[in-house]
Structure 1
Amino acid sequence: MSEHKDFLRTIVEKDLDSGKYKNIITRFPPEPNGFPHIGHAKSIAINFGIARDYNGHCNLRMDDTNPTTEDTKYVEALKDAVQWLGFEWKGDVRYTSDYFDKLYEWAQELVKMGKAYVDSLDEETMREYRGTITEPGKRSKYAERSVEENLDLLERMKNGEFKDGEHVLRAKIDMSAPNMKMRDPLMYRIRHAHHYRAGDKWAIYPMYDFGHCLSDYIEGVTHSICTLEFENNRDIYDWVINTLGLEPPRPYQHEFARLGINYTVMSKRKLLELVNEKYVNGWDDPRLPTIAGLRRRGYTPESILNFCESIGIAKANSTVDVAQLEFAIRDDLNTKVPRVMCVLEPLKVTIENYEGTEEFDAPYYPEDIPKEGTRAVPFSKEIYIERDDFSENPPKGYNRLTPDQAVRLRSAYIITCKEIIKDANGEITEIIAEYNPDSKSGSDTTGIKVKSAIQWVDAASSKKIEVRVYDRLYSCENPDGLEDLNPDSLKVIRDALIEPAVITDKPDERFQFERQGYFYADPIDYTDKNPVFNKIVGLKDSWGKKDKPKETRTERKPQEKKVQIDGEVEPMTESEQALFEKYTGKFKLNSMVADILARDEKLSSFYADALAVNNSPVSIANLVANEVARELKEKEISDLKFNASQIAELVKMVDDETISSKIAKEVFEEMSKSGDNPAKIVEDKGLVQISDPAVIEPIIDDIIAKNQDNVEKFKAGNTKLLGFFVGQTLKATGGKANPQVVNQLVAQKLK
């Protein structure tokens, strides 16, 4: 366990040290109404991880209280996800339905205590009676029913004598409570539906707020860890346990920030829509953020757990860049998988002066990977290369095969182009080439210098494969609906060619196809006769330029990123490694940002200059590695409109809360065009951050008054709408309001 403890582990240690608990028991309690996704992976890692770290145990419990949406296939998917991630639960899988009899007894006890009653109001009236944020609610007239009448009605509800919605059981708490969750919350509702485990025994089912806390108590759970959306439910959690007078030790609820990732939806409703309407090919479609989908795509358990660890455990919701998840799988596979040659868009090359056949002994791993293994790569006069590894009219900086430029075939010979053959449409169909017999890799005596080596496969022995190239399912950062789907999220290549050892020797199930990315043998559709590979992830983030005109590989300048010709990240030099260790150690940068800065001399120099002016290493690093790096892709430092001192000044204004991070991006864009100092831009445009509650509160009040429908939905439990009100406030202030102040004020006013 890391020496740096998150706030949840700090709570656990305090409870152990004080003697509050002798043993730590946690639980992972999903509702079995869909396949688990990457957000569940974070919860699994937290609950099982804390239990492991403190020699306790974690229960796997299905919160199966809604028979209309639950299914055994979801139960199996949840069990499989936990085990695949490397965790084991204590004893058998548990189910809330195991406790239905005991929960019902406790409900009867609350009725006898005068703390619960059967309500017969219709749903609309019940909502109206709840009141508003500023006005107390009104208790139902049915709350005056006698204990005997309530017990009789509750029993008849259980026995199925009433229709769905005709009655509910409510706790009798406080209709004027500031926390609207406490205004006589529902405890049981009627559901005439077959339960996948309980059968038709029950016609009523407990609500989450009643069943969850008591299930925790039954199991001896000490720390009931859940996401922030249940923060207001904590009062009900405590009320139920305290009112029933349950003997200690008892559980307590603690909340953490749920996982949000850009370009991704994790709403079960939206995922179910994608599956049911066949926008994707089932719950394990590799484009989905489900654990089954990530697993089929080729993600490893280690990469997902490393990702969860890297993002940490926070108390405030935020959105994580999906590039961080993609970095985690690259980082994991880089030291694990063999490198092989595959041609996705084959172009035939005939080597006219070569006769016969031979084999080259090629390593599976580069020198900096401490793994051994080689394979025989067949070679003959007819081979295939990647179509864009040849250019008849190459742009400046193109380093591969051209009519005037030789190239090395990876692990083989140097070839030169002699003739270009085209079809009637002018499409290149074949290259006639010549090889140098003295240029064999490893024993080259020619002294010929070439700028690159390219992958290739032998025409006679290569194997045809199907390659499924997956991209992000959504085309925008914050997707909302089906209109945001990326139409190019899947491309199927049916005539790709791969070297034979991959199919015949099967050295692994995951591979790096050189210069293409990481790929995985599809666990369902792959056969020896028809091999199918899924693209896990590219060798680098391809979305950094999505907002710019699409570039072909031949148009990229060689200085954009230090990458070897086979696509593997070039090992760091000693000086780069020293910088990387300094950045991640002393400066506390994350490894991805540190890697970007350490490998690029221009960026590291610019970073050092900015840091000399303002000692804010993390904030400056993030700005330099993203915004400044984008500018330097096409320019030299001397061509920039701004300098390092101005960047340092911009970061200081964010650190001092003079401007927000969002405004900082706007200021940077103006700096890159005009070269003006950030302070001048902020003053001229009136962009100073607003942090005074007296200024912000009237704006929030106006937004709340104009959006009463959303206020009601928020009161009804849709806590996601907190973000709506925050967003509207920021929008109304042109992004100038301090987000932290806005969050606090909105939360206070909506309570």
Structure 2
Amino acid sequence: MEIIPSNFIEEIIVEDLKSGKVKSVITRFPPEPNGYLHIGHAKSICLNFGLALKFNGRCNLRFDDTNPEKEDTEYVESIKRDVKWLGFDWGEKEFYASDYFDFMYEMAIKLIKMGKAYVCHLSPEEMRRYRGTLTEPGINSPYRDRSIEENLELFEKMRRGEFEEGEAVLRAKIDMSSPNINLRDPVMYRIIKQNHHRTGNKWCIYPSYDWAHGLEDSIEGVTHSICTLEFEDHRPLYDWFLDQLGVYHPQQIEFARLNLTYTVMSKRKLLKLVEDGYVSGWDDPRMPTISGLRRRGYTPESIRKFAEMIGVAKSNSVVDYGMLEFCIREDLNKRAQRVMVVINPVKLIITNYPDGKKEMMEAVNNPEDESMGKRLVPFSKVLYVEREDFSEEPDPKFFRLAPGKEVRLQHGYYVTCTGFKKGDDGNIEEIYCTYDPDSRGGWTKDGRKVKGTIHWVSAEDAIDIEVRMYSHLFTKENPDDVEEGKNFTDYINPDSLKIFTAKGEPFIKDCNEEYYQFLRNGYFRKDEDSTKKKPVFNKTVGLKDSWSKGKK
């Protein structure tokens, strides 16, 4: 069956298969295990694994563990967990850069013997100064013309740990006057005397990403090495290394990374948020990490749909966070269990309802899916309703509770407000209503309709639940755009998390569903902190969709 390409990368692959350049497609997802994956990585995961699935190929999961200073097995396990949660499987194709350290070392020796690499003792500051600028060529290192024999001896001393960190590096000998700064004798190896999470203390020299990346792809037989745009200027170096060594040469293709409003995607910045206590951890629901989104209530289906909607482009752009919210709202509308929860409760007393009477009202669990069935909700004389659903002096467009106004109680009766009581602090303590006993279920004998419908919970049956209301972590649409004298953390939203003790219907206590729609309040997910005595829910997204409406 002919595959119709949907983006420029697929067009390249289709042509490569037609021409016989490649016989089967092999991609890879190559995270560095120095942090948790974020929504930008999710786009790359969906792209690389998606291409393998579409073209009946395979996608390797490869950890670029070349920097023991920042990497940890915790990150490795979190990455594997996130990729699987998104719905992808790498089978037995799990690789590590550290698997190839011996081979990389041998290839470095090969370049030295070819006169294409040398040991340099310039300090990092001197190396930056010698490198030149975008408008000025670099200057050759005074160590550039050492003999092959001396370089081999010095590189072996580096490997044995006879130099201290920063005292020596191995550099490729390319062209210090190249207009592409990446080709101005880049570093291939640096000394890091720190335990590696997989190889222990076997090595004290570690390959740079540019040196390791192409070799890893070559060893694994990757056909299409797909990178984000910041690596476009590195491609000539990728090509140079592979061409000089005469090894199998994959094709590197760049695409635009994901930039999302009201978020930061830099691992360095995300790590600062975690380490400095701005958030509770990598899985804080305000974080753009996959684990944070999962905890907040995003589904793998919604994230895959988001990746599909934003597509694959050749130029960078910024995506409205509302698009991501649209995807989860569409998904949860079909699967979420409907329940009634009053987040900011005030008592409503139905004065003409019999004392001690209790009725069970029938409620649909999800009108989008009849198979989810129905449940019974207890109704009594004293209820909780949302404080915002009452107004002492309403404006003309306020269709909820107010003196003399009639509303419908969801799944219950029509009630008319007859009065209210305030406390010493001036706040409303109780609302008084009468009900129409002939309006059960929203039907009335005279066929009258009301514009306002509100949710409620029976006071004597209500359970206390903790509700965590989340909003954007940053107040600024682009927190990376830092004003002079400020840091990106200066734009953190102090109201990004608000915690309420809400009142929920008793059904919630024993319900094992993961995703919920709290009627009129939004979509929520039951948190890992939940217990039988204290259910905890994270707000995923509200019910209103401003993003798609703005696109019409």
TM-score range (shorter-chain normalised) is over 0.9
Q: Where does residue 28 of structure 1 map in the other structure?
A: 29
Q: Where does residue 526 of structure 1 map in the other structure?
A: 530
Aligned equivalents of 1:75 and 1:425: distance in 2? Answer: 54
Aligned equivalents of 2:166 and 2:279: distance in 1? Answer: 35
> Secondary structure at the residue paired with 1:237?
helix
Amino acid at match of 2:69: T
1:57-96 matches, cutoff 5 A: 57-96=58-97
The Cα shift of 1:124 comes to 2.0
The Cα shift of 1:187 comes to 0.5
Q: Where does residue 500 of structure 1 map in the other structure?
A: 506
Aligned equivalents of 1:436 and 1:41: distance in 2? Answer: 53
Question: Are 1:327 and 2:326 matched, yes or no?
Answer: yes
The Cα shift of 1:372 comes to 4.0
1:467-546 matches, cutoff 5 A: 467-480=467-480, 481-494=488-501, 496-506=502-512, 508-522=513-527, 524-541=528-545
Aligned equivalents of 2:515 and 2:453: distance in 1? Answer: 23
Aligned equivalents of 1:4 and 1:235: distance in 2? Answer: 27
The Cα shift of 1:509 comes to 1.4
Unaligned 5+ segments in structure 2 are: 481-487
Larger deviation, residues 7-16 vs 422-431:
422-431
The Cα shift of 1:382 comes to 0.9
> Secondary structure at the residue paired with 2:197?
coil
Q: Where does residue 141 of structure 1 map in the other structure?
A: 142
> Secondary structure at the residue paired with 1:144?
coil
Aligned equivalents of 2:447 and 2:538: distance in 1? Answer: 40
The Cα shift of 1:416 comes to 1.2
Aligned equivalents of 2:439 and 2:544: distance in 1? Answer: 31
The Cα shift of 1:362 comes to 1.1
Amino acid at match of 1:50: L
> Secondary structure at the residue paired with 1:416?
strand
Q: Tell whether the 8 Å contact from 2:34 to 2:70 is kept in structure 1 after alignment.
A: yes
> Secondary structure at the residue paired with 1:266?
coil
Aligned equivalents of 1:78 and 1:236: distance in 2? Answer: 28
Aligned equivalents of 1:537 and 1:407: distance in 2? Answer: 26
Q: Where does residue 415 of structure 1 map in the other structure?
A: 415
1:646-665 matches, cutoff 5 A: none
Cα offsets for 1:602-637 (capped at 9, x unmatched)? xxxxxxxxxxxxxxxxxxxx5xx5xxxxxxxxxxxx
1:420–1:251: structure 2 CA closer, same or farther, 3 Å change rule?
A: same
The Cα shift of 1:131 comes to 2.1
Q: Tell whether the 8 Å contact from 2:413 to 2:442 is kept in structure 1 after alignment.
A: no
Q: Tell whether the 8 Å contact from 2:414 to 2:442 is kept in structure 1 after alignment.
A: no
> Secondary structure at the residue paired with 1:243?
helix
Q: TM-score, structure 1 length as denominator?
A: 0.71
> Secondary structure at the residue paired with 2:24?
coil
1:546-557 matches, cutoff 5 A: none
Q: Tell whether the 8 Å contact from 1:348 to 1:429 is kept in structure 2 after alignment.
A: yes
Amino acid at match of 1:323: G
Aligned equivalents of 1:378 and 1:152: distance in 2? Answer: 83
Q: Where does residue 299 of structure 2 map in the other structure?
A: 300
Cα offsets for 1:342-389 (capped at 9, x unmatched)? 1011111111211211101111123x5554411001011111111111
Aligned equivalents of 1:275 and 1:11: distance in 2? Answer: 40
1:193–1:267: structure 2 CA closer, same or farther, 3 Å change rule?
A: same
Q: Where does residue 314 of structure 2 map in the other structure?
A: 315
The Cα shift of 1:446 comes to 3.8
The Cα shift of 1:290 comes to 0.2
> Secondary structure at the residue paired with 2:244?
helix
Higher helix share: 1
Structure with the bigger RCO (C-alpha within 8 Å, sep 6+) is 2
Q: Where does residue 439 of structure 1 map in the other structure?
A: 439
Aligned equivalents of 2:381 and 2:213: distance in 1? Answer: 70
Aligned equivalents of 1:489 and 1:147: distance in 2? Answer: 59
Aligned equivalents of 2:266 and 2:145: distance in 1? Answer: 40
Q: How many residues align?
A: 542
1:27-426 matches, cutoff 5 A: 27-246=28-247, 248=248, 250-355=249-354, 356-366=357-367, 369=369, 371-426=371-426
Q: Give the fraction of aligned pairs with identical amino acids, expressed as a percent.
A: 56
Cα offsets for 1:706-726 (capped at 9, x unmatched)? xxxxxxxxxxxxxxxxxxxxx
Q: Where does residue 711 of structure 1 map in the other structure?
A: none
Aligned equivalents of 1:11 and 1:2: distance in 2? Answer: 12
The Cα shift of 1:335 comes to 1.4
Amino acid at match of 2:400: R
Aligned equivalents of 2:524 and 2:511: distance in 1? Answer: 17
Aligned equivalents of 2:93 and 2:462: distance in 1? Answer: 49
Q: TM-score, structure 2 length as denominator?
A: 0.96
Unaligned 5+ segments in structure 1 are: 545-591, 598-621, 626-751
Q: Where does residue 484 of structure 2 map in the other structure?
A: none
Aligned equivalents of 2:371 and 2:303: distance in 1? Answer: 23
Q: Tell whether the 8 Å contact from 1:354 to 1:435 is kept in structure 2 after alignment.
A: yes
Aligned equivalents of 1:94 and 1:174: distance in 2? Answer: 33
Cα offsets for 1:70-117 (capped at 9, x unmatched)? 000000111011000000114152110010000000000000011111
The Cα shift of 1:4 comes to 5.1
Q: Tell whether the 8 Å contact from 1:439 to 1:446 is kept in structure 2 after alignment.
A: no
